[in-house]
Chains A and B, each alone.
Chain A
Amino acid sequence: MNDLLNLLIGLAMGLNLVALGTSRLPALIRVAALQGMVLGIMPLLIENEWRVMVLVIAVATVIMKGIVIPALLRRAMRTANIDRDLNPLIGFLPSLLLGAAGMIGAVVLARRLPLLPEHGESLLVAGSLASVLTGLLLLIGRSKAISQVCGYLILENGIYLFGLLLIHSTPLMVEGGILLDLTVAVFVTGIIMDRIQRAFDSLDTRKLTVLRE
């Protein structure tokens, strides 16, 4: 069970690097969606007994992160009618290397943290730190608003992964609430992006710093 979990977390960490290395917006959205789905099925692996609530949360996470949110993002991309290149502020190669260095750092750090023995062998903490770092890198290093939303989603995935450590003690209602918030946030961002597009004719967030009448 633990091996399978580590394999999935390893997959999610690999997807982080794909997200940093890809130069296309649809690919980035697909990677974020896939990562959300991979993380979504993890509660089923961690929980020992199958409760209905866990199942509901897992299914809801997979549907929301894997289908609904990407669909919202794709719609925003279509209506904003932007080109699909990402034109990064931090180049693909440096961000890939930074991401990899962050990932190694996360693994090393996670081994040094005084974790509970039951979490010692799993990659949960390392994966979560790596995803948070990747999300931050994407937020800082990409100029388009949609790619920043993807960065935000990956950042949230990292936090969700960290939350899985506490799955036995937090009520799953909290997870459900976060999921709802996330969906609403992406929904609202879609509307905001539409407004940005109308006001500035571009989704480049660098232009938002320019004051004009």
Chain B
Amino acid sequence: MDISTIILTLVWGVAIGCVYILLATGLNIIFGVMKLVNFAHGQLLMIGAYLTWTLTVTFGLNAYLAIVFTMPIVAVLGIAVERLTFRRILGTDKLNEIFISLGLIYIFENVALLIWGDRSKQIISPFNNMILDLSSISITYDRVVAVVVVVLALVAFGLLIKKTKIGLAMQATSQKDTAAQLMGVNIEKIYMITFALGAALAACAGGLYGIIFSFNYQIGAMPTIIGFAIIILGGLGSIKGAIVGGLLYGIAEQLATLFLGGIWGSAVAFALLIVVLIVRPKGIFGVKGE
């Protein structure tokens, strides 16, 4: 095994890690602002991938342009989900979130199965089969573009959180919702925007996922779990932590796949997650006493 294989694996790990970072960021703000755990987040990624595929195939759109159109559609879906289900159980037993998410997973996956069928699909991007050749390493353009798209999306997201009034209100709500409410923040509106943002990020991740990998209706579950693993590795509520965690995870998964074989990738990653959780039940950077 020469050094270029390892470098290539690292580069792949970064590209895949970027997709997971987007998903994890969405999960992270939903958890941060609403204190809600949406186990069905990966299914929004799956829906995003399918919608992007439909837009490119039926309307002949450029795949990356299709992602831009997919994001608001999934954001609206996210709003509907938040309004109809999660808002009604906010403040009840924490286990109810898990139950609702499971119901949503069953609904989303099987509706997708009915609409799009059970054959695997892949989104054909304009850079299909184009390879960036750097002497000993060659990687596909799509993976490079994926990294660029993720960086752009994260920068835009960061600006939204730090520089706008809505972002400020979201930060306030995440610190203490009742206090934010007393300061005149309409927290129900903030919850809605937060969920829509998270869903849009998941849709973007889904489009990129569908360009890099082939996908079917069942792909949502693993990315959700990986997203949680990343959040826990990087620290709850921290976007920087999610980025570091995502890159670490992507590289670890690719290295495990390279050295041990494909099936071990997720097992190794989970072993890592379980060890972290058992040693530090609230995550590496988790706050004590929540």
Q: Is B one of A's binding partners?
A: no
